[in-house]
Amino acid sequence: MRGEWERHIIRNIIRLIKSRRMRWAVHVASIADSRGTYRVLMGRPEENKSLGRARRRWSVNIKMDLT
């Protein structure tokens, strides 16, 4: 019985995270392209690239949330 309760809580947490991420995406989409927040979230910062595996972009996370 405890396993079902834990799965229910985890699903609710994931739903909350996705909901807040989508709300933030709508907010950022309304920001002009020249602002730093938009450039960073869309994966186009002005700094040099870091070493290692490329991080998943914000836009990819949003697309995954919509599927």
Identify the band that residue 2 occupies on the pLDDT scale cut at 50, 70 and 90: low
27: left (phi over 0), alpha (psi -120 to 50) or beta: alpha
Domain boundaries, the chain: 2-45+54-66
4 or 36, which is more confident: 4
Q: Is pLDDT above 90 for 16? A: yes
pLDDT over 90 at 10, yes or no: no
DSSP string, 19-62: HHHHHHHHHHHTS-TTSHHHHHHTT--SSPPPSSSPPPPHHHHH
* Look-up of token digits 């290692």: 52
Mean pLDDT, the chain, as a whole number? 77
- Model confidence at 29: pLDDT above 80: no
pLDDT for residue 7: 85
Res 40: pLDDT: 66
